[in-house]
Structure 1
Amino acid sequence: MLFRRMLVMLGAVILVVAALGAYKFFSFMQMAEMFSAPQPAISVTAVTATERQWQSRLPAIGTLKAYQGVDLTAEVLGTVHQVLFQSGEQVALGQPLLQLDSEVERAILATAEAVRALARVEYERGQNLIKRQAISKSEFDRLNAELLKAEASVTQLKAELNKKRILAPFAGTIGIRRVDVGDYLSPGTAFATLQDLSRLYVDFFLPEQAVPQLAIGQRVRLSVAAYPGEFFEGEIAALNPKVEESTRNLQVRAMLPNPERKLLPGMFANLEVLLPDEQAQVVVPETAITYTLYGNSVYVIGEQQDDQGQTQLQVERRFVETGERRDGLVLILEGLKAGERVVTSGQLKLDNGAQVKVVDDPALQSNQAQNTQ
């Protein structure tokens, strides 16, 4: 009886072990079948590398300055008698802007003119007397010196009187006035700014390596924050004859017309120097480039036949040499040809040799939908 019970228990153990072995074998076969099955294609977006005319540019930042600009000041002290301009108006060359009180100077000038008239009469009388030798030569010389002294005094007083009336040194736009009638001005006190806005300068710096690429007359294109999407063009007017020792940069000055008076001195400008070497170059979107410490690369999409003779898309990771970046595009100097398709999104899921399928770019579809509306 005991032997029979042991046989039953042994049989049960054998059945359990056999069942577990069969389950493990079945699981192993399923896993082997799963790993041997072809991996599903990874969804990516792609574009074709194109060749287009690419003009090299030197980017920089600069500050706009007026072609002519000054802070108007008084040269002599005095009280404001008349303000002869309106804030923000256009003024002409030589137009009166400010009149200081000049009654005292006019009175002194009248006295000096009377002294000059007397000195001239005595000098003319002395000319007649010297001809008859009625006076000495030294006395005549004294009369001549008195006349010259009186004339110099009148000229000096007239010059001082003219400084009481301040004129526009050039044509331009005058700023907001800072004085009123009755204000007392001391020499050097600014009462307004005057800016010639018909043309503007833009000063900027470029590294010394760019010196061989620069020349007078080269075109410059700039934009300012006040007018997004709008560009203004000028040309290089001057190159500084020395490189700044502290920064190793060269100062460059460009000049541009400003007929509509849109641009103002002091504005911050993003600009580009347009170089004359326009060539056909291969370009791709910036999103197609993968940047790493080991170099920049792209995933190039190619076709291959599987065992059933069907065409599949496969990616190849290729290192490339990149150049300038502009307007969302990157210049490819080496490693890629025009006409090859590159992945623009989904690179993080890819590895060399991975199978892919190309889907539409949602961002591109959104832009197309907005353009059709």
Structure 2
Amino acid sequence: MRLGMICSVLLGLALMAGAMLLTFWPEPAPMSAEPKKTGKVHVEPVVAASMNRESRFTAITQPYRQALLSFTVPGKIISRPVQVGDRVQAHQPLARLAFEEFDNAVHQAQAAVAELTVQLNQAKRDHQRFLRLSSDDVVEARQAEQATALLEQLQASLDGAKAHLTEALRRRDESLLRAPFSGIVTAVYLDSGEWADPGRAIIELQDDKLVKIEVEVPESIITRLEPGQKVNAILPFAANVQVKGRISHLSRAAGGAGRLFPVVVELDPASGVVPGMTAELVINAESSPAFEVPLSSVINPGGSRPSIFILNNGQVREVPVELEGFSANKVLVTGDISKADLVVVHGHTALTHGQSVDVAP
């Protein structure tokens, strides 16, 4: 029992000594928030640079306009004066159907319109007469109403006859196939004497003046293109002749996720380019603003997170960058940079973000 009392007293003395030690132990000196200065660093100003990316797309030249021509009415072809390779002018006749049936329909419709016009004029006179007699109580009001109804009926019949005449004239006109534009006949499918159904191809016509190129470009390029923009095309199998062109149409929507965007380029009509030639479309698209810095200023240039140090009021800040291109000992970068910035080119291997530095003269 005496041994237990002695142990309790010793434990109490030890706890009291620990408490006094914590109370009177001097507090550690606070750590300075100011980063320790490093040695001298060398800086250079960043240089703004315009960066153009040249992209090339291979395509085959096509006629700007191409059409498969057909009749909209059925009939027997009695004339087709053009052959493959012929050059035709706009509105020039290319083929004709037997038109006696269409002529007869027109004459019948014209006769119906003439007959109803005479009847309508007589009905108008009768109507006026019945109105006067009805007002004088010479005829019953019912007779005047009948005259009015007959007049309206004849007017409706005449309107219908005129519509039939218009349709008959259209069908007669459609029996003659005309060129919708000037061009070259590239194919014929039916000859004289054959029966032509509506919509069946008779002649293929291509525009021989305007030539186009159709390509598909990725999203990174379509956003930098505008309708009317000047572009160039190279003919690799024609002594690399360069042809000027302009963007006549571009699509702001792709056919689906991950799809490309169609672009149509109209080539200079004076270039002599014809459909079917191989061409390389050259597009120079200016990218986002870039800056030129020494290659030595880039930390981890071959890694996944390259960066540079920018000096600002005696301190450096680390800026992640994207490498856009190399030229000798310079590199083009994009990132949170401005023309007024100074980039550290030497002495930056041990720097940390926010660290204070001295600049070497």
**Once superposed, what is the RMSD of the aligned Cα atoms?**
3.2
Match of 2:198 in 1: 187
Quick one: which of 272, 284, 307 aligns to 1:274?
284
- In structure 2, how many angstroms separate the alpha carbons of the residues matched to 1:108 and 1:236? 48
Maintained 8 Å contact 2:211/2:269: yes
Post-superposition Cα deviations, 1:321-373, rounded to whole Å, max 9, x if no partner, equal 996xxxxxxxx624499xxxxxxxxxxxxxxxxxxxxxxxxxxxxxxxxxxxx
Counterpart secondary structure, 1:198: coil
Letter in 1 for 2:280: N
Rate the CA distance shift 1:211–1:113 in 2: closer, same or farther, 3 A: closer
Task: Measure how far apart 1:163 and its partner are.
Answer: 0.9
Quick one: which of 90, 95, 106 aligns to 1:93?
90
Post-superposition Cα deviations, 1:176-210, rounded to whole Å, max 9, x if no partner, equal 32221101111111112222232222111222222
Residues 104-183 of structure 1: pairs in structure 2 closer than 5 A: 104-133=101-130, 136-183=147-194
- In structure 2, how many angstroms separate the alpha carbons of the residues matched to 1:244 and 1:143? 56
Structure 1: runs of 5+ lacking an equivalent: 1-53, 282-293, 296-320, 324-331, 338-373
Give the TM-score, by structure 2 length. 0.57
Give the TM-score, by structure 1 length. 0.56
- In structure 2, how many angstroms separate the alpha carbons of the residues matched to 1:104 and 1:202? 45
Residues 38-53 of structure 1: pairs in structure 2 closer than 5 A: none
Rate the CA distance shift 1:207–1:143 in 2: closer, same or farther, 3 A: closer
Residues 8-27 of structure 1: pairs in structure 2 closer than 5 A: none
Residues 353-364 of structure 1: pairs in structure 2 closer than 5 A: none
Task: Measure how far apart 1:85 and its partner are.
Answer: 2.8
Q: Is 1:333 equivalent to 2:327 in the alignment?
A: yes
Identity of aligned residues (%): 23
Task: Measure how far apart 1:92 and its partner are.
Answer: 2.3
Task: Measure how far apart 1:172 and its partner are.
Answer: 2.4
- In structure 2, how many angstroms separate the alpha carbons of the residues matched to 1:213 and 1:136? 73
Post-superposition Cα deviations, 1:231-285, rounded to whole Å, max 9, x if no partner, equal 2121223321124545443322221123365321x544222113469xxx9xxxx
Quick one: which of 189, 199, 202 aligns to 2:210?
199
Task: Measure how far apart 1:62 and its partner are.
Answer: 2.5
Counterpart secondary structure, 2:252: strand
Maintained 8 Å contact 1:80/1:180: yes
Task: Measure how far apart 1:117 and its partner are.
Answer: 1.5
Structure 2: runs of 5+ lacking an equivalent: 1-50, 131-143, 293-301, 304-322, 332-361
Which one has a larger percent strand, Structure 1 or Structure 2?
A: 1
- In structure 1, how many angstroms separate the alpha carbons of the residues matched to 2:224 and 2:154? 70
Maintained 8 Å contact 1:90/1:173: yes
Counterpart secondary structure, 1:227: coil
Rate the CA distance shift 1:136–1:215 in 2: closer, same or farther, 3 A: closer
Counterpart secondary structure, 2:161: helix
Q: Is 1:250 equivalent to 2:261 in the alignment?
A: yes
Rate the CA distance shift 1:322–1:109 in 2: closer, same or farther, 3 A: closer
Rate the CA distance shift 1:126–1:226 in 2: closer, same or farther, 3 A: farther
- In structure 1, how many angstroms separate the alpha carbons of the residues matched to 2:244 and 2:103? 52
Match of 1:72 in 2: 69
Residues paired across the two proteins, number: 237
Counterpart secondary structure, 2:104: helix
Rate the CA distance shift 1:59–1:109 in 2: closer, same or farther, 3 A: same
Counterpart secondary structure, 2:167: helix
Letter in 1 for 2:218: P
Match of 2:238 in 1: 227
Maintained 8 Å contact 2:237/2:278: no
